Chain A
Amino acid sequence: MAHFDEKAKPFSHKWLNERMAVDTVKKVLSTEYWIPKDINFLWAMGMILAATFGILIISGIFLLMYYQPDVKTAFDSVNYTIMSEVGYGWLWRHIHGVAASVVFLVIYIHMFTGIYYGSYKRGREMIWLSGMLLFVLFSAEAFSGYMLPWGQMSYWAGMVITNLFEGFSPTIAGGVANFPGFVEWLRGDYVPGQAFLTRFFMLHVFLLPLAIIAVIVLHFATLRLPHVNNQKGKEIDFEEAAKQYKHGNKKESKVIPFNPVFLSKDVFVMGVYFILFFYLVFFHFEFAMDPVNFDPADGLKTPAHIYPEWYFLWSYEILRPFNKDLGLIAFGFAQVAFFLLPFLDKSPVVAPANKRGLFKVWFWVMIVDMIVLTVMGKLPPEGIWTIIGLVAALVFITLFAVLPFITKKEKKA
């Protein structure tokens, strides 16, 4: 049994230390959590995401106090009660809406930073997989939240996306992948209605945030042993470097402590980010609040153009150019493709993409293709746009198919 000093004052440092090892915890998680020194501002995206998630939770709590998950009152509780009657309700809503959109921009930057620097392999596979799991959960969170104002786009996006769960046509493989009744079970009705809205409300404010918090903890935990990658992908002897740092050889040491050195840079980058973020909140929020969703849901009136928010457009465009069954396969592929990255990349080299021969080409073609898919996903599927979209979708699939072959050939640098 451990030794407890009877004279220690309750909640004093010593008292807490004996009970919770606060000194050790602080060292492990902060002052002696070593981060490579050779990094750039892209390494701050993780903390920016954490901060944005915090903003989403806080603004969400305020919105939750007035939102009414009822098909008759949901629209007005958002657009009238919160926007006109509640003091600063409009501010919380704009913060919530803009943050929900911007968080995806930062997620994509975070993700492609990881891909560019090869931060998903050689011990960092679990970081990547837990991160991708977060991406899926954030997507579900964004989608369920989009249902809540119960506008035209909420309703019709809800209709289109839940329709996907019908599965393949009954004629394919004797109908084993056709799920009659499943869509109705998901919706709780034949069309999106009260049951649909209430369950998405539950998912959005309870189950999904809970799951996200749990996976964020997992994501942090997966980082602790393999450590954060660095700009050159160099393997660092963290123990040796930490020793150097602690002895005062800060110049020679390749690492810095998370707190306060790494954090000071993070906070600076966060400041720059918040300037942009609040500029968007006050002066340029339209991109995050689609005009179509300011028309109340109407099951009898299909909008002229149905499209998801910008961050889903690339995968929507992978679904759209094909017929129903092929589209579903392609869409399913798009959802899991990035998960497979650590296993499709056969090269042991951890280095920036620009130093990796063919992978450099692969990376930049992927970036361009993602942007093309995103733009085509929004454009009406007519004429030349359909063809460009189809080509971009095929390029996406091809890129993942050839990745093992081009990385296998890569010589160890």
Chain B
Amino acid sequence: MKEFKILAVVVILSLITYWGVEPFAHSQMHKHVVGNEFNYDGKADIADATKEKLASKKAFWGEVNQIAKLPGNAAAGEALFATCMGCHNGAGINMGGVVPPNLDHAGNLYDKKYLIALIKDPAMASNVDHKYASTMMHPMGAVQAMVTAPQQIADVVAYVKTKKVGKLTPKVAYEEACGRCHSNRYGGLTQLGETPKFKTEKEALAHQMKVLDEQDLVKKYMGKLPPDLSIMIRARSEQYMETFIENPQTQLPGTSMPRVGLSKEGYEAVKAYLEETGDPSKDARHAIGPWVILFFVIFTVLAYFWKKHHWKDLH
């Protein structure tokens, strides 16, 4: 029938245009980065390494992969973990530019190999060694002198992976992994966490001052204030988020953002929080959408019969 032919032409031309300006154009505008399923084996670091760094990166990740094979002793690790508590104590005090993260859910949040690498050399693990003349200068660099033997590292990581686990809510995951550098104002979070309720404006302003001071420290450490993540989930594509969080250098070469080493579980929890603050209507959309569409399907069927009724004696 003629009308269907015309419809086909209109639909095909519209779809070609859509394909051109959306999937195709975006595939050309953004470089394609392949993720590594949240496995941290140094493959990408070695592939992207400069000539000078290549040998050290290879050696570093080779050792990490070796340590990963050692059976760790969680009990021995617990004793060593006391060393970590000096900084990772939940006191919320800025050290060298950033508040050391609370490690209560580190076992869920972070990948095993990443933790090994981090204890071995934090700057190399987080792939920001380009920022430092010596990786000892990293705020956590001193750990290299504190936990040194491969077996020690394996033990601490075994302890973290078995004992520092718990129910990982999206919000906790976000606060521990991202919240010390990135605010999330739609979630009511600053770099100092949730803002308490104050009785007087003066107290509120005093707290604001503390937040600004903290932001200044982070700014000094990172070069600029890291962006607020309230609706980042809508500002970047899913693929970008995933590959960027796994290895920031792939999407933004030279960025001062460290790789945080999220496990798949950790990433899913963080993503859930970003969706909660940035795209809260998702469930409602999926619940209401089909009913609205059903309404218009019925509307269209009825309209079709109405049309038939009026047009039946015209031809």
Contacts and interface: CB of A to CB of B under 8 A. Distances in A.
Answer yes or no: are A and B bound together in one complex. Answer: yes
Nearest to A296: B228
B230 interface: yes
B29 A379 contact: yes
A219 B29 CA distance: 40
A275 B284 CA distance: 18
B300 A282 contact: no
A274 B285 CA distance: 16
Q: What class of interface size applies to chain B in its complex with A?
A: 35 or more
A379 B28 contact: yes
Given A90-B284, A305-B29, A261 B237 contact: no
B310 A261 contact: yes
B2 A40 contact: yes
Interface residues of A, number: 51
Contacts of A282: 285-286, 288-289, 292-293
A80 B286 CA distance: 20
B21 interface: yes
Given A374-B17, A380-B28, A278 B10 contact: no
B132 interface: no
Interface in A281-316: 281-283, 287, 289, 291-292, 294-295, 304-305, 310, 313
Nearest to B23: A287
A295 B300 CA distance: 39
Given A282-B292, A305-B29, A267 B230 contact: no
A37 interface: yes
27 contacts: A79-B231, A83-B280, A84-B280, A105-B14, A109-B10, A251-B315, A260-B310, A264-B303, A264-B311, A265-B310, A268-B300, A270-B303, A278-B292, A278-B293, A279-B293, A282-B288, A287-B22, A304-B29, A305-B29, A313-B21, A367-B13, A371-B13, A375-B20, A375-B24, A378-B20, A379-B29, A385-B28
Q: Which 10 A-B pairs have the closest CB atoms?
A: A282-B289, A271-B300, A375-B20, A294-B235, A90-B281, A378-B25, A268-B303, A264-B307, A294-B234, A264-B310
Interface of B: 2-3, 6-7, 10, 13-14, 16-18, 20-22, 24-25, 28-29, 185-186, 227, 230-232, 234-237, 278, 280-281, 284-286, 288-289, 292-293, 296-297, 299-300, 303-304, 306-307, 309-311, 313-315
Interface of A: 37, 40-42, 76, 79-80, 83-84, 90-91, 94, 105, 109, 250-251, 256, 260-261, 264-265, 267-268, 270-272, 274-275, 278-279, 281-283, 287, 289, 291-292, 294-295, 304-305, 310, 313, 367, 371, 374-375, 378-380, 385
